[in-house]
Structure formats: C-alpha cells, structure tokens
A and B are shown apart, each in its own frame.
Chain A
C-alpha cells in the first residue's frame, strides 16, 4: 500500500489533482472571501471560529505528525490566552507582543513537559497530557489574583495592530483568516522541507528514523513545542475576539474537539485541519437545539471514520480514485 500522505499535500505529477486544484483554488478563495460580504453577524462569527479552529488543529496536527496525540491541546490554547490577556491587561503590553508572549508561555510549558514525557511510550504521553490539562485548569482556578479564578477575566479589549483595531467582526475575520492561511501555509511548507520529512519519518517508524541518524526525541519535542506555540497563539486571538476567558473555556472538551476535527479531517494530510475545522465548527452551532444528538453523531462518525477511512476525509479523493486506477 502506498502512503496516502502525499496524495493531497505532496507535489504530485498526476494530472487529475492539477485539474481539481484549478477548481478548488478559486472555490476556496470565494469561500474565504464570502464572510467579508455577509451581513449576518452569526455567520461571520462562525467563519471566525472556523479560522481559529484551523489554527488550533494545525498545531495539533504538527504534533500528530511525529506520532504523538496530545490530550492537553486545549490547555495550551488556554495558557496562550491567559498569557496574552494577563500581560496585555496587567502590564499594558501591545496586542502583538502580548499574543507572542502567550504563545511563548505555551512553548515554554511544552518544552519542559515534552522534554520529560516524550522519552516515554505514546500511551504515557496521552495520559500525562490529559493530567497536565487538568493541572492547568486547577492552577488557573486557584490563582484568582492574576487569573480571576473561576470568574475568569472579562472586558478584554479588541486586538489592535499598529493603531488599527480589529473591533468589528469583519475586521477580526480578516485577522483570523490571515492566521489560518499562515498556519496552513506553514504546514504545507513543512511537508516539503527536510525538517518536515523528518517528522513523517518519526511517525512512520521511530526506530528506523533513529537508526538513520535522526534524533527522534529532539524532533518530537520540537514538534510538540511548535504545535503548542501555535495553539497558544490561537488562544491569544480567541481571547481578544471573545473578550472573556475562564478556566472552563479551555477544558477537556476543547482538547477532544480538536482531536475529533483532526481525525475526521485527516491526520496525515496538510489539509486535514482545514477540512475538519470547516466541517465540524459550524455543525454544533447550527444544531444548537439538538446538542446531545450532535455529540452522539460525532462519536459515531469518529468510530466509523477510524474504521473505514483512517486517514480522514482528506484521503477520500485518493481513496475514490484508487479503484479506477487499479482496474
């Protein structure tokens, strides 16, 4: 079986994907631009959340590309959000500096944690990231002087860059869209440079990668730190968009929804985070009345996708094409 990872992300010489790309690019641009012309604040809100989810899941996808699944991704989003809000509001730092500080805090925590636990088998990584997320929630709750405790922090000002305030939904959508595209471009770029190939090598066969002279531990720590940094940055954006943070905004359900998006979108494709976020962000908002049925449906979809399409929806075109080519 050929590795399906190259089917969408990699440079393929097959003409069919080229033709598909000719249709997909303008379509993608049109979809991305549409929210600018939408009057309904609700749809623009959904578009913003989708973009932020693309960023968050991109970070997770980077970690997953080295074969590790983080169960504390939501906590790193939270660390970035709180880091940015606290430095921005208490110390009066400008938005860009505060957001970068938030991301840096997430990176630092990931570095310390990753250095210790990435030496262990994947299962321990999952369990410890899960426990770490719980710890972050407790610390945020237990430090009311700085984090506002269970009440969280309200009245976070809108993001502002060089005197331009992203204070309307349309303006913020521009910022979120830029970040989502940047995150995807980063993933795409990474799939074409040696550093990214090293990530994939570690995922596919860690022992072989180590034997080929790659430092598996260092590569996994690097992916974890970058992925968590991206999550932290997305958290800073989210906090300045919503205007409110509380420990419960970044609980386990955020980590799990990121995993669900990644798996349903496709773990081994650069486009997985985009597809997952695009499909799974609007659904719960549109079906708010039936939120429980929604989750049951998600759970079932997750199991079915794992069973029949383990590389997610991103692998669907290749999967559909293969029988015809084989025959």
Chain B
C-alpha cells in the first residue's frame, strides 16, 4: 500500500514537472519548426517570464492570473521585435541563426543580471493548502500550474487548428515554399511563430515563479530539459513534444523517487542516446 502511495505521489509530481517541460518544449519546437533555428535564448525568455510575473505581482500588485497573461503578451511582443531586429537575416540558416541566439541569450541574461542582481528572490505563493485525492497529497499551488498549463495548451491547440493565422503558421512549419505559393505571407509568420514560441516559455516561467525562486540563471535547467524533450519527441513536432514532455517529467520523478536523482539524470541521458540510435527522428517526428 505504501509503495502504491509513493508511486502515485511520484506520478503526480512527475505530471506537474512534465507540464513545465511540455510548455518549454512546445514553444521551442514551434520556433524550430517555423524558422529552423535552435533558439538558445529560449531559457532567457523563461527567466524574463518569471521576472515579469514576479514584478507584476510584488510591485504592481496585479492579480497572478492577469500578470501571467500580461507577461505572455509582453513576451510575444518582445519576441516579435527580437525576430525582426536580430534574427531576420538568419531565417533557415541553422548554424548562424543558432549562434546568433547565443549572442541574444548572453545579452538578455546579463541585462537581467544588471537590472535585477544575481540573488534569487522568492515570490509569495498564489494559493495555499493541499488537495487530497484518495491518499494522495497534491499541493494546490501545483494543481494550479497543471490547470493553467492545460488551459494554455488547449488555447494553443484551438489557435493552431482552427484560426486562420494558426493554420498558416502550421502550413509554414510543413512546407515554406508551398505555403508561400498559397499566399501565406511568411514575413508575418516568422515573427509571429517566434513570438508565440518564446511567449510559451515566458508563461512557463511565470507559472513556475511562485513555486521556485526567481533569478537570472533559472532558465538553463528547463531549457536543457526542453532539448531532451524535443530530441525524444522529434524536432519540430508539437504532439511529439507534448508526449515526450510528460514522459520525461514522469520518468524523472519515478527515477528520482526510487533511485538517486543524479542516477536518474544519467539514465535519462542514456535513454536519449538509445532513442537516437533506434529512432533518430524521435517518437512522432518525421524522418528527414
């Protein structure tokens, strides 16, 4: 009975962490799908999102929910601007575009360091208390994260499936040339895709800000996880990222419960390598 409880608890924790990975990875893979550029600045948008929510809630006393939405909107605008100012010449240039995003990440991270200082700051909890599901204990703050992430993903799904803009975005991910031939204006789709991608990272950051501390360095770890998720799920595949994100969160939580957490990390890396050998295009990715 104890074992089952432990297992259930690990699954629940894994689901929460998996949601974070999922949000990070979906944004990351969306940017890659549209621009064919690995965005190393993704971590910094996560960090900026966390700071955005932190500042809005603590300084301006905006309600948390509204602050997450404002942060998302600001991140989309910033992403749009950055794509237009910095990344425009590097569209579809995998190597140089990627190096340019490293430069971008350096600017953003050190800019944040100058403005906010290096010390981690903590944000007041949004909700308190716990919910019992049978014998399982779920902190409400985590439940909140899961609910919000699900809502965001549902909105994203509807946007990509049913809105005109979202469909043109997907068309560009599928095939740029044919999409252009059908009259989709790629010059609008690029900044939009980048903006939404980094906006998702900012939402992840904003949602996680009350759970963890906020500092200019918090983005790296979730970005590394996003890398692993997109490798496993298939680069550019959004359903693949969703599936692999949840799997990674649960696998980590299970392995961390029953093994030491560094052993878990090593095992997961071994799994990633194995995945690349057996199925290089990822779970749901298309072979090149």
- Do A and B come from the same complex? yes
Binding site for B on A (CB under 8 A): 67, 69, 113, 116-117, 119-124, 126-128, 130-132, 134-135, 138-139, 141-142, 252, 256, 259-260, 263, 292-293, 295-296, 298-303, 306-307, 310
Instruction: Output the nearest chain B residue to A132 by Cβ-Cβ distance.
Output: B269
**A128:B99 contact, CB within 8 angstroms:** no
B276 touches A256 (CB 8 A): no
Evaluate contact between A124 and B269: CB separation under 8 angstroms. Answer: no
- Sample of 11 further A-B pairs with CB below 8 A, known A126-B38, A135-B266, A307-B89: A128-B273, A131-B269, A135-B265, A139-B266, A259-B99, A292-B114, A296-B114, A300-B103, A302-B100, A306-B96, A306-B100
Task: Determine if B104 and A303 form an interchain contact, defined as CB atoms under 8 angstroms apart.
Answer: yes
Contact across chains for A131 and B86 when beta carbons are under 8 A apart: no
Distance between Cα atoms of A295 and B118 in the complex (Å): 15
Interface of chain B residues 200 through 236 with chain A (CB within 8 A): 220, 224, 227-228, 230-231, 235
Residue pair B110, A296 in contact (C-beta under 8 Å): yes
Residues of A within 8 A of B277 (CB): 116
Q: Are A263 and B94 in contact (CB under 8 A)?
A: no
Show 26 residue pairs from A and B whose CB-CB distance is below 8 angstroms, ordered by the A residue: A69-B98, A69-B99, A113-B273, A117-B273, A117-B276, A119-B280, A122-B95, A127-B231, A128-B272, A128-B276, A130-B227, A134-B265, A138-B265, A139-B262, A141-B262, A142-B262, A256-B106, A259-B102, A292-B114, A295-B106, A298-B103, A302-B99, A302-B103, A303-B100, A307-B89, A307-B100
Establish whether residues A295 and B110, one from each chain, have CB atoms under 8 Å apart when the complex forms. yes
- By the criterion of a CB under 8 Å from any partner CB, how many residues of chain B are at the interface? 41
Minimum Cβ distance to chain A for residue B109 (Å): 8
Q: Tell me, in angstroms, the Cα distance from A127 to B12 when the chains sit together.
A: 28
The residue of chain B having its C-beta at the shortest distance from the C-beta of A251 within the complex is B220
B256-272 contacts to A (CB < 8 Å): 260, 262-263, 265-266, 269, 272
Cα distance A266–B99 when bound, in Å? 13
Task: Look across to chain A and name the residue whose beta carbon is closest to the beta carbon of B107.
Answer: A299
Q: Which residues of B contact A293 (CB under 8 A)?
A: 110, 114
B103 with A306: CB separation less than 8 A: yes
CB pair B100–A138 under 8 Å, yes or no, is no
- Which residues on B are within 8 Å of A, measured CB to CB? 32, 38, 86, 89-90, 94-96, 98-100, 102-107, 109-111, 113-114, 220, 224, 227-228, 230-231, 235, 260, 262-263, 265-266, 269, 272-273, 276-277, 280, 288
- Chain B residue at minimal CB-CB distance from A69: B95
Q: How far is the CA of A279 from the CA of B100 in the complex (A)?
A: 19
* Docked pose: A301 CA to B99 CA in angstroms: 12
Alpha-carbon gap, A65 to B231, bound state (A): 24
Assess the A131–B103 pair: CB atoms within 8 A.
no
Q: List chain B residues, Cβ under 8 A from A306.
A: 90, 96, 99-100, 103
Chain A neighbourhood of B109, CB < 8 A: 295
Chain B, residue nearest A68 (CB)? B95
- Complex Cα gap A130–B43 (Å): 14
Q: CA A127 – CA B40 in complex, angstroms?
A: 10
List of A residues within 8 angstroms of B276 by Cβ: 116-117, 120, 124, 128
